[in-house]
Amino acid sequence: MRAAQILEHRKPLSIGAVPDPTPGLHDVIVRIEACGVCRSDWHAWMGDWEWIGLSPQLPIIPGHEFGGVVEAVGKEVKNFRPGDRVTAPFHEGCSHCSNCLGGHSNRCDNLQIFGFSYDGAYAEYVKVPQADFNLVRLPDEVDTITAAAIGCRYMTGYHGVMRSNVKPGNWLVVYGAGGVGLSAVQVGNAVGAQVIAIDVDDAKLEKAKEEGATTVVNARRENVVEAIKEVTQGGAHASIEALGIRETILNSVLSLRKGGRHVQIGLTTKDEGGLVGLPVDAITAMELEIVGSLGNPRSEYDGLLSLIARGKLNPKSLVSREVALDDVSVILDDMTNYKTFGFNVITQFS
């Protein structure tokens, strides 16, 4: 099959023929029709995240946001057959640990990630392990480009909004108007929250308004915390940090009202190395809540797909362009310089 591999960190991907994957007893091979180019792929390409065990061994095929069609199934697979239209969360559960059994596959004790733990979907085919547990059948109303759009960033934004416990009419602040942030803006708006989007790029903030943000703040021109407290008359009910940057994490916590909830989605950069100071006294005195949010468990996919199928959510509106496999290295370079916009989705593999 044709695929793109990371052979060296920060070097152009190698694109060419590699062996086709073959299914084990419980695996499924999916023919890829669409795969998103995610900033997490950029982190893999950069060699980041070694402090949390997410710097993959090379060579590896990246890619974890995909939609496609079942090509072949292992002998023990019961729920899928060739021709089924499918997707999967970027995090694959083992199916038998207490978290998987409890509906929290995103917290699996044996978590594996496409493009980090094993080869991903920048390829004509990908292998999905424990397919009866991990694979997700697509409704007729959801095409494979939309499936790629929800594969990581959108479903992560969706789960983050669920973790925020935001109610209709509440103020929700979203830090970062990239893929995850725009997704959270769209979902937050859909559940009735008043959404404030924060970024330093006016074009991204304009897109956030298109996706439902009632207010936007350019952090280069305004004092973010003061602006939010003025608009919300005292602070937000909830905030989502989708960048992993020390300054925005601190702003997110400080922009909350008493009893507010900060949701941390963004993994940190090399500058933070996973450690960020927090205003503990304010957290205590204001009874603030700090929660983490990773991906979206398999158990919540049916609800997400149902909302998309009924037109309540529209991930495809965040797809800015379709690209070829040969374009990926340029997109990764653009990510280095923060030049990408919305979702870039690979739809041409040959």
Name, in order, each residue with C-beta under 8 angstroms of 102's C-beta and a sequence gap of 6 or more.
Answer: none
- Per the DSSP assignment, residues forming a β-bridge with 92 are 112
User: Residue 214: which pLDDT band, with cuts at 50, 70 and 90?
Assistant: very high
Task: State the pairing for strand pair 289-292/256-264.
Answer: parallel
Contact yes or no for 181/242 (Cβ under 8 A): yes
For 110-133, what is the mean pLDDT? 96
Contact yes or no for 100/133 (Cβ under 8 A): yes
Output the pLDDT for position 51: 79
Output the pLDDT for position 266: 93
For the stretch 40-81, pLDDT in tens is 999 899 888 887 777 889 999 999 999 999 999 999 999 999
Q: Which domains does the chain have, with CATH numbers?
A: 2-137+314-348 (3.90.180.10), 154-292 (3.40.50.720)
Distance CA 188, CA 158 (A): 8
% the chain with pLDDT above 90: 91
User: pTM for this one?
Assistant: 0.93
Does position 203 have pLDDT exceeding 90, yes or no?
Answer: yes
For the stretch 287-320, pLDDT in tens is 999 999 999 999 999 999 999 999 999 999 999 9
User: Residue 33: which pLDDT band, with cuts at 50, 70 and 90?
Assistant: very high
153-187 in b/e form (b: 16+ CB < 10 A) is bbbbbbbbbbbbebeeebbbbbbbbbbbbbbbbbb
H or E element at residue 345: strand 343-348
DSSP state string for 162-197: HHHT--TT-EEEEE--SHHHHHHHHHHHHTT-EEEE
Distance CA 279, CA 281 (A): 6
Does position 30 have pLDDT exceeding 80, yes or no?
Answer: yes
Among 3, 13, 5, 7, which Cα is nearest to 335's? 13
